[in-house]
Each structure stands twice: as structure tokens, then as C-alpha cells.
Chain A
Amino acid sequence: MKVAFYPGCVSKGACPELYVSARLIAEPLGLELHELESAPCTGAGVLSEQNRELADALNGLTLAMAEAQGADLMTICSTCQGVLSDHNYHLKRDESRREKANATIADQGFRYEGKATVKHLLWMLFEDIGIDRVAAAIKRKLTGLKIAPFYGCYILRPSEALGLRERPERKTYLNQLIELLGAEAVEYRGATKCCGFPMLTFNRDKALAMGGNHIIEAKEKGADLLVTPCPLCHLNLDGQQPDAARVLKQDIGVPIFHLPQLLGLAFGFEPDQLRLNHHVVSTKGALEKVELKV
């Protein structure tokens, strides 16, 4: 299946392990990735709040590029997904907003007709690739692992623009996937909560406490690791975890996996291929449970 692949800035910056593992799992899933190399950053909501017209034009451009490819746009970042979904929702419905965006990008040879579909890899697994195909690609069951899903905000809220009204099952995909891979999904409150990343530069200690508390809760419920579809959550939960532990005066030490890394393990790739040796919090303990080493 051909998809217009939008990797997002973070997978090409501070989380290269996400980009690498997303590329690896494409083949067993039958995904033909056509990367939108000249698509700009979504603005992560920061630009939308300060200048909607600018964000409409930038995201309109990306959506026009996907439309021109004639394929669904696939994200591997919940934040990209949230922002693109939001702008797509409005650009599809509000003709004056769409025309304004088009007027800005027209002389670049682009025009958005309002027909693009934006989907996170997590949604595609269930809605396009099909769960049977995912199951068929499994070479290594993750039996024995207790995995806490960490959905984060932007793949769940606001539910209207993300299409969760029509497809409420999207709220459960991560749990379903964990079970499908042979692991046990940990039920905990933090699963749908905020990692704190958007506040990290404004109110550091509170942002660290927010994310740290959710990891501690998952740990107390027995989680060996957390899995997230969002690299920004990953930056806060993994990258800042030692600092969060300091702020909360508590040991944490729970590894955070990107969604494609977890899939990659189940598809038989080795931990170092998935760059599981390039995390701030060691993935060693969790991998030992499935008899793997980093």
C-alpha cells in the first residue's frame, strides 16, 4: 500500500530511532513509503495559536502534496497528527479558509482541494493495513511483557477533528495492539493523560512532575515499559526521565518505546537495529524479559 509518509521533525532530529524503526517495519507491513521530503513542519500548534493564517498555509501545502501523491498521508507522531487533523478538518469545511491558504501557495504550483486523509500509523494498522496482516508479520511474541500504553493528548483530543466520534475504537488501538503482540496491557489512569512536554520550556518542574507521575503509576501497576505513538511524549518521558526522578525524589527507571520499535521487536528485528540502545533510560531490563540483549 502506497502512503505519503510524513515523518515529522523530531524523528529526523532528537528521535532518529523512531525514523529508523518506522522505515524497518514498513516492509513487513506492506507499506510503500513515499516520503514528503519537501513538506514543512506543522508548527506543532505553536504557530497555529499565534498565526492561524500562516499555519493554514503551511499545513495546506503539506496536504496539497499528499493529495498530489494520490495517497493517504501517514504520520508517526501524534503531535503532527493532531495539528494536521485540526487544519485538515477546518480546511475541508471552511471554504474561505481553504481559499486563503490556496491563495498563499498558488504560485508555488500547489492547490489543496480538501480531499486528503491524514492517518497515524497506529490507525492505519487497524483501518488500512488490517490486523490480520499485522498478526501475520509477527515472528516473536512479546509474551511475558507488561506494557503500559501511553496515548498522549493529540491522538485523542480534541476528538471531533480527530474523527473519534465516527471511530471511537481509535481510543483502544494501542491496548488492542499490545495484546495482539502477545504482551499484557497495563490499565492505568495516566494512559490518556498529558506527558507535560508542551509546558517543558515554560514551567519545567511541573512539566517533569506531570510526566513522571504517570510513569510511576504505570510502574506501580507492574509495567516493564511504556509504549507511545508520539515522539514528543518520548522526549519528555525518556529524555527527561532522570530529571523527573530528581524532581519527584523517586527512582523511576522505566523504558519508553516508540510504537514502531515495539512492532519491530515483534516482527523479529534486533534491538540495535531499532536503536533501542540509544535511549536515555536503559531498555535492557525490559528486553531481557523477552530474552533479548542490547
Chain B
Amino acid sequence: MQFTIEVGRYNTEGRYADAARPGEPFPAPWNASPVRRYQTYTVDLPEHAVVLDALIAIREYQDPSLAVRCACRSAICGSCAMWINGHANLACKSKLAAFTKDGKTRVESPPSMPIIRDLVCDMKPFWDKHLAVRPWLENKQPVPPPNQEYRVPNAAMEELIQEVSCISCGACVMDCESFAVNPDFLGPQALAQAYRYVGDPRDAQTKERLGELSKEGGIWDCTHCFECVQQCPKGVAPLDQILKLRKMAVDAGYTHNAGTRHADAFAESVRHSGRLNELTLMPKSTGLFNIVGQLKTLPSAINMARAGKLPPLIHKSIPGVERIRKIFERVGGRFK
């Protein structure tokens, strides 16, 4: 079967094949790496072939100058994550037939990462974040003697299977919306790994870790867009882990942040009236004594008021709100 592959090429020396046509710059925030050229190849492969088969065929038989990073070809090593039709995927796991759109498949290095050459991006930002969450166990004392195992309940480790499945391919980070505008954000992979250690009963640093993760660039800087859940080839669902960390951090007492204030103000409003009171949510989340923060939101509030978009000043409860209050009394936990 004939497949047409459009490969994003980039070469610091500026040498490109004549057939490589210049591309457009990527729009912000997806413009961290430079403009590339696109070169089109045609390969003849069986119907079940994956994108990586095509790239290897091109490199081996058509164009040895093509740089592509891969190793296991079995979705285990995590080397070949790249942008396929505008989203991060493992090239070895993506069927060409499924990724053929308008008669072709476009493959390129993710533009929110620095690029080295062609399909090879620089993973340094990824590894820096990964290391920043101290991805190792800080053992609880006393550690078992050398001839014994560290025993933990099965259920505790089952809880971590998802996170342990991470192959560090970086697909989640390559499509992360927060990371694209905020290079200080730890990102989905590092945070999912952080949960892997926070959730491990053998670790002695749970509270300290949660404190670190509650700081700027941590769990509250995620925009909750689900791109990481969608792109992860191993089902790690990083956002789910970030949300677990948020809850654990709040439960551990790390509540002096906009995230907790937001959740508290939200819950208070729903408990009280059955619905959201937008008028008080924003100022309460910002922090009533955070004068600088309040002033920053003021111009928008004035713009909205002028357009007639202020929520009603008297916040009405939904009919039967007692029902909602009862639910809160029963299962509201800290929102009671």
C-alpha cells in the first residue's frame, strides 16, 4: 500500500533537499522551536504498518540524512514520541492508515520543545522537570535488613500501577497547554511521577513533597485541559494524578493558595445556594486581603459591568436548596 509522509525537517546548517518546502511559523504558544521545512516521501508498506515503519524505510532506502530517534519499536522505550498530524504520539504505536488525513500523514518534532534536528527534539526541559520532583524513594526508617523485602500491601501498589506504567516518552508534555505558555510548570509527566512517590507507602517524604508541589509551577498551574490524558500512550492519565495530588495537598494542610481558596469558595457557594455565585468566587479565590491580586482583576470586572454582564447582585438560591445542604451535611467532608 502506498503511503504519503510529509516530514518536518530542520537542520541547523540550513541544508535541505530541493524538494523541501518552507513551512509557516507555529502560532504561539506552540512556537518554542524554529520553523521547519516539509519534505514529502512516498513509501510502499503493508496496510498494518505504523508511522515508525515508514520513517525507518525512508531513512534506510530513500534518504539517509533523515534524523529520527527510536529504539524498541514496541511502545516500551519511549524514544519515538513526536507530533503526528499535530498531536504527540508514539510513532511505533500509530497505524499509518489511521493517521492518514487528506491522503497524507504529517510528522514533525513537537514545536513546544527545542529541536535538535528533523524529528529529534531536545528532551532536556522534560528531564529537568522529571528530576525536580525527586523521582526516587526516600525510605522510611528503619529500612528492612538487606536480606529482607520491604513489604507493602498489594492494594497500595495497585493504586500506583498507572504511574509506574510511564515510559517517559514526553507525549503529555509535548501537548501540554500550560507548559506551552509557562516554562516553569512542572508538567504532566513530572507530576504523575510525583504522585507515584507521594502515594508510595514506603516513602518518608510525603508531606514535604506535597508542600513542594503546592508551590508555583506545581499542581495548581495545570489548566485541566485533559490533553495529557488524551495523548498518553500508556494510560497514565497524568491529569487524574494531578487532581489526586491537589486533594492530598489540601488534606495535608497546604491551603494557603488560590487553588484551595477557589475550591472552598466554590463549595461554599454551592452549599449555600445550590449554584455558583460568580460575584464572590473570583475575589474569594484571589484572597480577600490580596490587594495587588484584587486590583489586577478590577479592569476586567469593570469591563464586564459596563457590558451588562455582572451576575445579579442578589444571588438567588435554587428551589429546594435544603436538599443540597443535606447532601453537604452528609458527604461534604471539609466543605460541611
Contacts and interface: CB of A to CB of B under 8 A. Distances in A.
Interface of A: 9-10, 12-17, 37-41, 43-51, 53-54, 57-58, 61, 104-105, 108, 153-154, 156-159, 188-190, 193-194, 196, 198-199, 201-204, 206-207, 209-210, 213, 216-217, 220, 239-240, 242-243, 275, 278-280
Nearest to B312: A13
Contacts of B327: 54, 57-58, 61, 104-105
A279 B309 CA distance: 7
B222 to A, nearest CB: 8
B61 to A, nearest CB: 33
Nearest to A194: B225
Contacts of A45: 224
Interface in B292-308: 293, 296-297, 299-300, 303-304, 306-308
24 contacts: A12-B275, A14-B309, A40-B324, A41-B276, A46-B263, A47-B335, A50-B247, A50-B333, A53-B333, A104-B331, A105-B323, A156-B226, A158-B229, A190-B27, A193-B225, A194-B177, A199-B222, A202-B221, A203-B221, A213-B27, A213-B181, A216-B27, A217-B28, A279-B307
A206 B182 contact: yes
A220 B327 CA distance: 49
Contacts of A206: 178, 181-182, 221
B36 to A, nearest CB: 15
B181 A239 contact: no
Interface stretch (B131-139, B145-153, B278-286): B278-286
Contacts of A154: 226
B259 interface: yes
Tier of interface size on chain B:
35 or more
A53 B334 CA distance: 12
Contact of B331 (A14, A51, A153): A51
B312 A157 contact: no
B220 interface: yes
Interface of B: 26-30, 86, 177-178, 180-182, 216, 220-227, 229-230, 243, 246-247, 250, 257-259, 261-263, 266-267, 269-270, 274-279, 282, 285-286, 293, 296-297, 299-300, 303-304, 306-312, 318-320, 323-324, 326-328, 330-335
B183 to A, nearest CB: 10
Contacts of A39: 318
A220 B223 contact: no
A47 B223 contact: no
